């Protein structure tokens, strides 16, 4: 399905979560789709099952998937994704910090904003290709 980068700053379970989130919000895994089982996925990406389990558990808490013992894990309707309150606040702070990081490198307002928009465009293009 995807690959884990052991050199990434992101922890493994976060990489798993983000990869699945991406596939869900981009519609590659539509509502109701059955995800690979914990054991399957852990094998295919060469990661301990507990680590995948942790990712699935957290995805469930955040409303992306639901799990049924004995049956597997399934994609929730997109409307159930918790995109409010603390989750949104944290995302906004992450964005604010990213901008401040630019400023701390000595970049000015305009340059920082221009660079950010460039990055956004690249991501949009990458997303559309998939």
Partner DNA sequence: GTGGTCTAGACCACT
Partner DNA sequence: GTGGTCTAGACCACC
Catalog residues that contact its own copies under the rule CB under 8 A: 6-7, 11, 18, 21-22, 25, 61, 63, 66, 68-69, 71, 74, 78, 81-88, 91-92, 94-107, 109, 112-113, 115-117, 119-120, 122-124, 127
SS3 content of the chain, % helix, strand, coil (to 5): 60, 5, 35
Residue 70 contacts DNA per CB under 7 A: yes
Distance from chain centroid for Cα 101? 22
Residue 37: name its binding partner from DNA, its own copies, none (Cβ under 5 to 8 Å by kind).
Answer: DNA
The total of other beta-carbon atoms located within 10 Å of residue 80's CB is: 14
Among 23, 38, 64, 75, binds DNA (CB under 7 A): 38
Q: What residues from 42 to 61 belong to the interface with DNA (CB under 7 A)?
A: 47-51, 53-54, 56-57, 60
Q: Which does 125 bind (CB under 5 to 8 A by kind): DNA, its own copies, none?
A: none
Interface with DNA: number of residues (CB under 7 A): 26
CA distances in angstroms from 40 to 34, 47, 77, 110, 118, listed in the order given: 12, 10, 23, 48, 38
- CA distances in angstroms from 5 to 10, 13, 14, 18, 112, listed in the order given: 9, 11, 11, 12, 28
- Residue ranges that bind DNA, judged by CB under 7 A: 11-14, 35, 37-40, 47-51, 53-54, 56-57, 60, 67-73
């Amino acid at each position: 399905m995807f690959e884990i980068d052991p050199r990434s700053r992101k922890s493994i379970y976060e990489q798993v979560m983000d990869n699945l989130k991406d596939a869900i919000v981009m519609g590659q895994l539509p509502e109701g789709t059955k995800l690979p089982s914990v054991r399957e996925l852990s094998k295919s990406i060469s990661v301990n099952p507990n680590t995948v389990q942790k990712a699935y558990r957290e995805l469930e808490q955040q409303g992306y998937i639901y799990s049924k013992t004995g049956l597997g894990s399934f994609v929730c309707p997109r409307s159930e994704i918790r995109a409010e309150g603390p989750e949104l606040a944290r995302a906004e702070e992450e964005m604010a910090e990213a901008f401040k990081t630019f400023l701390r490198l000595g970049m000015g307002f305009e340059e920082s904003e221009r660079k950010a928009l460039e990055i956004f465009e690249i991501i949009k293009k990458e997303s559309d290709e998939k």
